[in-house]
Amino acid sequence: AAGVIQSPRHLIKEKRETATLKCYPIPRHDTVYWYQQGPGQDPQFLISFYEKMQSDKGSIPDRFSAQQFSDYHSELNMSSLELGDSALYFCASGINRVPTDTQYFGPGTRLTVL
């Protein structure tokens, strides 16, 4: 079965640079969630989109922005990168913003900021 695809899998950037992470949800899933997992920490919710509109916002820094496109893929744009942004970034997809529905997680993008 198709799963959530994230690219790139690994990314190395320097401070103050920008980064773009991409997420391709499972086919027919209309909701995308972004999470940040710091080293040894639990995933923290950043932001979610339903039908190309932002639906919820968590602890996403102002330096970050995201959007969902007409084909339902999503991109997380990160600017003015800081050392503390080094983390594993997960994308998850689901259906209809239903909280009972399972969120299916991608393999993550590991971002390292030097």
Partner 1 sequence: AQSVTQLGSHVSVSEGALVLLRCNYSSSVPPYLFWYVQYPNQGLQLLLKYTTGATLVKGINGFEAEFKKSETSFHLTKPSAHMSDAAEYFCAVSGNNDMRFGAGTRLTVKP
CB of 16 to partner 1, least distance (A): 27
7 binds partner 1 (CB under 8 A): no
CA distances from 43 to 1, 5, 70, 89, 105 (A): 25, 18, 27, 8, 11
- Site map 77..106 versus partner 1, x via CB under 8 A: -------------x-x----x-xx-xxxxx
Contacts of 104 (CB under 8 A, 6+ apart): 3, 4, 26, 29, 92, 93, 94
Residue 112 binds partner 1, judged by CB under 8 A = no
Residues at the contact surface with partner 1, assessed by CB under 8 A: 4, 31, 33, 41-45, 48, 50, 55-56, 58, 90, 92, 97, 99-100, 102-108, 110
